């Protein structure tokens, strides 16, 4: 079981396959096992790295260090330790914030960027349409702190188009409840404090924004706006998904991700010309007979 130490934190990660590297970054209170379908789909052509963010999964659970920059610094150290010349970054939800900060840090070492049902932050800015009223954010934080397990039971169904009827709910609850409440609260605070909006116009790598049409946490309009702000970005809409297309429509998601990873570098042209119009790639409808996830016991 590979671990890597950084700033007093032990990071648990997995590495599979061979070829150009891709780092998959999980969402708030999840862990690296959420990407199992993507690892299986990509490992024949890519070196696929999954990692538990600090405070999650089998990584250390320190009392401090849960800012987005601190967690991106952990992953920057991991990328450099792996000695890969370039790496594609894919971040889901909270992991998208970390991926944006890591893109800023790694610069030309980033080969592509995938942002899955995420936001560039600024959620404490009252002028941001996605900002939550302070009283609402405070009430959510208090609920997470006082009864995290109960909060997760209520929250998990909102991740999926089918709500509580989704076959993924029980598994999601079990994974999320493994996260210590103090880490969940700290990362919730980090999501409100982060603001990567000023960096969006500087991104010069092939980028796809992946978004479920039925996302109950972040409306599709937020994904459309995010794609518009990144030069040359593509928007992939998943018609049968909520906040988790990587699970709900894993086949269509994996195909769209493979397309991103095969994209040509943006190069210097994007830095000198106006950004081209955003292209929208609509994923095909979900095929029947989706299987219930069966993650391996850790």
CB burial of 49-77 (b: ≥16 within 10 Å; e: otherwise) equals bbbbbbbbbbbbebeebbbbbbbbbbbbb
Does the predicted TM-score (pTM) go above 0.85?
yes
Q: Which two tokens stand for residue 83?
A: 């000695």
Lowest mean pLDDT among 13-27, 87-101, 277-291: 277-291
Contact (Cβ atoms closer than 8 angstroms) between residue 22 and residue 49: yes
Phi, psi of 115, deg, nearest 5: -120, 115
The dihedral region occupied by 107, where left means phi > 0, alpha psi between -120 and 50, and beta the remainder, is left
Q: Residue 211 catalytic?
A: no
Q: Residue 74 catalytic?
A: no
* Residue 2 or 199, more confident: 199
Q: Of 229, 180, 190, whose CA–CA distance to 207 is shortest?
A: 229
Answer whether residue 57 shows pLDDT above 90.
yes
Answer whether residue 148 shows pLDDT above 70.
yes
Answer whether residue 150 shows pLDDT above 70.
yes
Q: Residue 146 catalytic?
A: no
Among 6, 46, 243, 250, the active-site one is 243
Q: Of 221, 209, 279, whose CA–CA distance to 245 is shortest?
A: 209
Among 93, 166, 191, 250, the active-site one is 93
Answer whether residue 116 shows pLDDT above 70.
yes
Phi, psi of 193, deg, nearest 5: -85, -25
Task: Report all structural domains of the chain as residue ranges with CATH numbers, in order of start.
Answer: 3-121+196-283 (3.40.50.1820)
Q: Where are the beta strands (DSSP E) in 139-273?
A: 207-212, 234-238
Strand 47-51 relative to strand 9-16, pairing: antiparallel
Q: Provide mean pLDDT across the span 54-65.
A: 95
CA 26 to CA 96: how far, in whole Å? 8
Task: Specify the pLDDT at position 279.
Answer: 41
The residue to which tokens 């991700």 are assigned: 257
Task: Specify the pLDDT at position 36.
Answer: 98
Q: Provide mean pLDDT across the span 137-141.
A: 96
The four Cα atoms 233, 242, 217, 51 give a dihedral, to 10 degrees, of -70
CA 120 to CA 226: how far, in whole Å? 7
Distance set, CA 48 to CA 41, 51, 90 (Å): 10, 10, 11
Lowest mean pLDDT among 23-37, 213-227, 257-271: 257-271
CA 245 to CA 160: how far, in whole Å? 9
Among 56, 215, 241, 250, the active-site one is 215
Burial class (CB within 10 angstroms; exposed 0-12, middle 13-18, buried 19+) of 200: middle
């Amino acid at each position: 079981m590979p671990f890597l130490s950084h700033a007093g934190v032990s990071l648990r990660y997995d590495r599979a396959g061979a070829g150009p590297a891709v780092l998959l970054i999980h969402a708030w209170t999840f862990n690296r096992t959420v990407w199992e379908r993507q690892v299986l789909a990509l490992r024949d052509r890519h070196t696929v790295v999954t990692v538990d963010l600090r405070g999650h999964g089998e990584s250390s659970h320190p009392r401090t260090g849960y800012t987005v920059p601190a967690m991106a610094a952990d992953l920057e150290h991991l990328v450099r330790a792996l000695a890969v010349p370039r790496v594609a970054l894919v971040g889901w939800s909270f992991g998208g914030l970390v991926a944006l900060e890591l893109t800023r840090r790694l610069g030309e070492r980033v080969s592509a960027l995938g942002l899955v049902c995420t936001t560039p932050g600024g959620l404490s800015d009252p002028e941001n349409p996605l900002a939550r009223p302070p009283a609402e954010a405070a009430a959510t934080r208090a609920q997470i702190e006082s009864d995290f397990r109960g909060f997760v039971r209520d929250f998990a169904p909102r991740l999926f188009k089918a709500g509580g009827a989704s076959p993924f709910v029980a598994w999601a609850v079990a994974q999320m409840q493994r996260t210590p409440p103090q880490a969940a609260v700290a990362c919730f605070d980090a999501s409100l404090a982060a603001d990567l909006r000023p960096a969006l116009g500087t991104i010069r790598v092939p980028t796809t924004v992946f978004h479920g049409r039925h996302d109950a946490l972040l409306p599709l309009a937020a994904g459309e706006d995010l794609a518009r702000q990144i030069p040359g970005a593509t928007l992939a809409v998943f018609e049968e998904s909520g906040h988790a297309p990587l699970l709900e429509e894993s086949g269509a998601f994996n195909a769209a991700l493979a397309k991103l990873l095969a994209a040509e570098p943006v190069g210097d042209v994007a830095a000198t010309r106006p950004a081209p119009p955003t292209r929208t790639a609509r994923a095909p409808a979900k095929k029947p007979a989706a299987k219930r996830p069966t993650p391996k016991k850790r």
